[in-house]
Amino acid sequence: MRHEKRGNLKMATPHNAANMGDIAETVLLPGDPLRAKVIAETYLEDITQFNSVRNMFGYTGTYKGKKVSVMGTGMGCASIGIYSHELIHFYGVKNLIRVGSCGSIAKDIKLGEIIMAQGACTDSNYAHQYQLPGTMCAIADYELLKTAQETAAEFGYPYRVGNILSSDIFYTETPEWQQWAKMGVLSIEMESFALYCNVARAGVKALGIFTVSDSIVNGEELDAEARQNGFTNMMQVALETAVRI
């Protein structure tokens, strides 16, 4: 663990080779660094790559004329905790939009639907560092959420807004998800709680948007083509949100 003060003017961090100014104020954050590459190459113009440390690829380009970056975060609260902290505190990033996959735990959610995480529950102890005298309620930025919701509605894409679970556990022998489902939680992913905590502590903005890639309720999974289309809808919503805010 380390305190964040940086003792010199060299802008690269242990995990990010970018210099100040290389990264846009708005960054899209998929867990998978190769998805960051695909997003940059598919949707952005005039791209430059600012990071390949640990193969955690990061790119900056433009979308509809606005400077936007995209960078992988890795999996789990610990990993996104590091990358988002550096983006916020060392590179001045103000809007962090996670674009991920998730598993639904609500019976009526269909594969390929978009879920926007109004709140993120967790089984992680990430918030322990803040020494809070209670339980952190980790929430999305309202303006980002409102803009994304309006965009999805305008485009006619199926979407849901609600609570999700950011879990430290991908493989489990016990069906804890059923307890979360009883609390109205829509789906499970692994990073948004830490992201929402980091932005709350820093006074900047975040939103998690997800494509439902599989159902934990009935074991269904998107096939490759449907997965691609679903991710396309999510990316259009995220990029349009980046332009409109």
Ligand X SMILES: O=P(O)(O)O[C@H]1O[C@H](CO)[C@@H](O)[C@H]1O
Q: What three-state secondary structure class fits 199?
A: helix
Applying CB under 6 A, the span of 17-25, 29-37, 43-51, 193-201 interacting with ligand X comes to 29-37
CA–CA distance, 135 with 128 (Å, rounded to integer): 9
Residue 101 lies near ligand X (rule: CB under 6 A): yes
Judged by CB under 6 A, the residue of 127, 190, 197, 209 near ligand X is: 190
Q: Which does 191 bind (CB under 5 to 8 A by kind): ligand URA, ligand X, none?
A: ligand X
Distances (CA, A) of 200 to 10, 147, 178, 203, 205: 27, 19, 29, 5, 8
For the bound state, the minimum distance from the C-beta of residue 210 to ligand URA, rounded and expressed in Å, comes to 8
Q: Which DSSP state fits 20?
A: T
DSSP secondary structure of 117-141: EEEEEESS-GGGGG--SS---EE--
CA–CA distance, 118 with 208 (Å, rounded to integer): 8
Judged by CB under 6 A, the residue of 22, 26, 31, 239 near ligand X is: 31
Q: List the catalytic residue out of 22, 32, 141, 214.
A: 214
Judged by CB under 6 A, the residue of 86, 191, 214, 240 near ligand X is: 191
95: amino acid identity, one letter = N
Judged by CB under 6 A, the residue of 26, 69, 101, 211 near ligand URA is: 101
Residues comprising the binding site for phosphate? 31, 35, 54, 98-101
